[in-house]
Amino acid sequence: MTNLKLHYRFVTMDYTPRTLGPELFRAAGAFSAVVLTGPRRSGKTTLLRHSFPEAHYVLLEAPDVIDRVRSDPRGFLDDLPTPVILDEIQNTPELLGHIRARIDAAPERMGQWLLTGSQESALMRGVSESMAGRAAVFSLLPFSRSEHESVSLLAGGFPEVVARPKTRDLWFRSYVQTYLERDIRQVLNVRDLATFRRFLALLATRTGQILNKTALAGPLGVTVPTVTEWLGVLETTLQVLIVPPFYENFGKRITKAPKIYLTDCGLAAHLLGIESEEALSRSPFLGPLFEGLVASEIVKSQIHTGRRREIYHFRDRQGLEVDFVVPRPEHSLVMIEAKATRTPAPAMAKSLRRLMKATGAESSRGWIVHRPSRGGVDMQSIAPGVRAIPWTELGAIGLGNSLPSRRTLGPAAQLRPPARRNRPQRSC
């Protein structure tokens, strides 16, 4: 390639298959472009490079590469053989219009442009404007438990933490600093990064609670609109999960405020200063952190199968509360209570049974999701219509089988996965 430097960043880690892989194969057979977004370092590039080993790879991050793109985007693309992986496309959004023109010139060529991006808000604006109908868009979160057995409440699911747990605290410190300096400063005009760091730590203390922006703004000395803006960026970059209320057919009796969680429980524990399993077991945040872990596992089971994220919480003004409500096909519901105990008891099913009765959905199911015990039972019935299951077996509930994602359009052709290659992999 003429005057083009390819920039590689490798981490010598064994490749762990991702649930989203088959969906990417299918999308590459039906769309000219595939866009993969998600938090920084969640494994996007590793997944694409393993899934499409014959594709060329360019990291759009080094200053000389970005300068080349901005000075001559057509020449830059002319030098690229396809298929090609363009990593961190949000750094060069001007390429999207030129890629669209090339797609339109050869619409029969599928799977030629494989794009990744970490700043989903800016990236998605460009995709919606330039690539409508031409790209299948997916999101990738850190590992779920079904993908890697080392995912835990303390470690979370980021690939590099899971691979090297002894470096957990150092990795998270570096991650927070990098995220602040590279992402937040690019998206927001944050003048006082120290205040934003305090905001992240304050969010960790509010995990699992009803979102109260006024209560967040007060201790920081910022305005509610500022908190709203910061939360918006954290949500669109998939650093936090905002879980809306479920109030279908319940009217004004329902609390209509959302709940908030940090997407990765390991990052949340780090921000709370929890550094060991012993400290975690004694922490007053054990319950909320576990609830956040369950929320994240539910969302991963949906979006990692190419499905639409659909998770709600329920709380009414009479005190009835259920942690999570997940709609299923044919108007059925899955209702979940997250309990940090290792010993589920029938009394824990009370709220579930009340809500199941109130909804009148005969096919609804109730689950108590709890921490596993050594030698414990994988699944057990603890009340009529309610079963208890360890969070490590949450995949058995089948929460990923909801409605297809609206962001993956059109039929998807079946593609055979490429043969595995023994070569260095890089985690994004």
- Per-residue pLDDT of 23-61, as tens digits, reads 999 999 999 999 999 998 999 999 999 999 999 999 999
| Strand ranges across the sheet with 333-339 | 312-315, 321-327, 333-339, 365-370, 386-390, 380-383
At residue 397, the pLDDT reads 83
At residue 199, the pLDDT reads 94
**Tens digits of per-residue pLDDT, 67-81?**
999 999 999 999 999
At residue 415, the pLDDT reads 30
| Strand ranges across the sheet with 209-210 | 209-210, 259-262, 240-243
Residue with tokens 């057919």, as numbered in its chain: 249
Q: Are 65 and 72 spatial neighbours (Cβ–Cβ below 8 Å)?
A: no
Domains of the chain from N-terminus onward: 21-139 (3.40.50.300), 159-397 (1.10.10.10)
The backbone region for 230, taken as left when phi is positive above 0, alpha when psi lies in -120 to 50, beta otherwise, is alpha
pTM metric for this prediction: 0.87
State the average pLDDT for the chain.
86
Using 50 as the pLDDT threshold, list the residues of the chain that sit under it.
1-12, 402-428
At residue 179, the pLDDT reads 82
At residue 30, the pLDDT reads 96
At residue 417, the pLDDT reads 34
**Tens digits of per-residue pLDDT, 293-335?**
999 999 999 999 999 999 999 998 888 999 999 998 777 899 9
